Amino acid sequence: MTYDEIMQKLEKLGSEQIKQIYQNHGVKEPHFGVKIGDLKKLVKFVKKDHELALKLYDSGNHDAMYLAGLSVNPKLMTKETLQDWVSKAYWYMAAEYTVAQVAAESEYALELAREWMNAEEEMIAVCGWSTYSNYLSITPDEQLDILEIKELLNQVKTNIHEERNRVRYVMNSFVLSVGTYVAELNEEAKQVAEQIGKVHVDVGNTACKVPLAADYIKKVEAKNRVGLKRKTCIC
């Protein structure tokens, strides 16, 4: 399918109900309001065309941008393109999911995660923490910088409640990821989770909730899934 055909398909799949839900979460025009499940059905039409995926992201249309993140080949992403993507990720879903997941599977995962986490711009910092969290979920423990992860856990413990709104959310998610995917640091993550307790995030006019990190990790432990890695973090 061509770019124009994909955009026409997205428009047909959109609904006013889903569009309103997205807008409650922070999406801006242009977008059609396409369900994530329907976007996933279009991946097969884009996946083998890396340039088409890049063009979809550049459209600025949320639905097309999300589809691009599902379809693009992370190993073909240049650092410059990833920097361009994060600069255009104006709301949390694009930053936390689309860009972070692609960056986490790219050749520049750690380099960009470290850079972005320290950014003054909230959504770029959000993307940095989410990139690191996703990286943990797919990377063997022996390839991880355990000392750095410990330092980041301590940073979360010390600063999370004073951080910017959406950064608090992804810092909490980072603790979840460490406790879930890094077996060596499971106990340390649980301790941090207990210490930070409930994390308050303004989620706007939505029903979203911030998970309690301690409870989440316990549920993973109960299923005996601590340390089990994912094949891909793109979803």
Q: Categorize the per-residue pLDDT at 206 as very low, low, confident or very high, splitting at 50, 70 and 90.
A: confident
Task: Give yes or no for residue 52 having a pLDDT over 90.
Answer: yes
Mean pLDDT estimate for the chain: 97
Residue % of the chain over a pLDDT of 70: 100
pLDDT in tens, 135-160: 999 999 999 999 999 999 999 999 99
pLDDT, residue 103, reads 98
pLDDT in tens, 214-232: 999 999 999 999 999 999 9
Q: pTM above 0.75?
A: yes
- Residue 15, token pair as written in the block: 């609904």
pLDDT in tens, 159-194: 999 999 999 999 999 999 999 999 999 999 999 999
> Is the peptide bond prior to 211 cis by the omega test (within 30 degrees of 0)?
no
pLDDT, residue 137, reads 98
- Residue 26, token pair as written in the block: 């922070």
Task: Give yes or no for residue 204 having a pLDDT over 90.
Answer: no
Task: Give yes or no for residue 50 having a pLDDT over 90.
Answer: yes
Q: What is the DSSP code (8-state) at residue 212?
A: P
pLDDT in tens, 66-113: 999 999 999 999 999 999 999 999 999 999 999 999 999 999 999 999
Residue % of the chain over a pLDDT of 90: 96
Non-local (6+) Cβ contacts of 219 within 8 A are: none
Identify the CA nearest to 126 among candidates 85, 162, 94, 82: 94
Non-local (6+) Cβ contacts of 117 within 8 A are: 125, 128, 129, 132
pLDDT, residue 183, reads 97
